[in-house]
Amino acid sequence: MDRTLSVVFLSVVDIAVIVVVARLFGKLATRLRQPAVIGEVVAGIALGPSLLGLLPGHLDTRLFPGEVTPYLRIVAELGLVWFVFVVGLELDFTLIRGRRRAVASISLLSFVVPFALGLLVALVLHPLHRVVDGKQVPLSTLMLFVGIAMSITAFPVLARIIAERNVHRTGVGVLALSAAAVDDVLAWILLAYVCAVVKGDGVITVLGTLLLSALFAAMMLGVVRPFLTRMVKWHNKTGGRNLCMLAVVAGGVLLSAFMTARIGIHEIFGAFLFGAIMPRQDARHFRRATLDRLGTINSVVLLPVFFVIAGFNVDLRSFTRVDLALQLLLVLTAAGVGKLGGTFAGARLQRMTVRHSAAIAVLMNTRGLTELVVLTVGKEVGTFDTDVFTIMVVMALATTIFCQPALRIVYPDPVLQEDIDAAAAAEPER
Q: What is the pLDDT of residues 159-178, one digit of tens each?
A: 888 888 888 778 888 889 88
Contact 286, 240 (CB under 8 A): yes
For the CA atoms of 210, 215, 216, 218, the dihedral, rounded to the nearest 10 degrees, stands at: 130
Q: Is 131 helix (H, G, I), strand (E, B) or coil?
A: strand
Give dist(CA 368, CA 41) in Å, integer: 9
Confidence (pLDDT) at 96:
66
Cβ pair 253, 82 in contact under 8 A: yes
CA distance readout (Å), 386 to 66, 73, 76, 117? 18, 18, 19, 22
For residue 367, which amino acid is it? Answer: R
pLDDT at residue 240 in the model: 60
Report the DSSP beta bridge partners of residue 132: 135
Which regions of the chain are under pLDDT 50? 429-430
- How many Cα atoms sit within 13 Å of 75 on the Cβ side? 27
Q: How far apart are CA 356 and CA 247, in angstroms?
A: 43
pLDDT at 430: 42
- C-alpha to C-alpha distance for 6 and 9, rounded to whole angstroms: 5
The predicted pLDDT at position 216 comes to 93
Q: Which domains does the chain have, with CATH numbers?
A: 83-295+317-426 (1.20.1530.20)
The pTM score is 0.86
Exposed e or buried b for every residue in 302-311, given b needs 16+ CB within 10 A? bbbbbbbbbb
Taking the CA atoms of residue 312, residue 316, residue 319 and residue 325 in that order, the dihedral angle to the nearest 10 degrees is 90
Name the amino acid, one letter, at 257: A
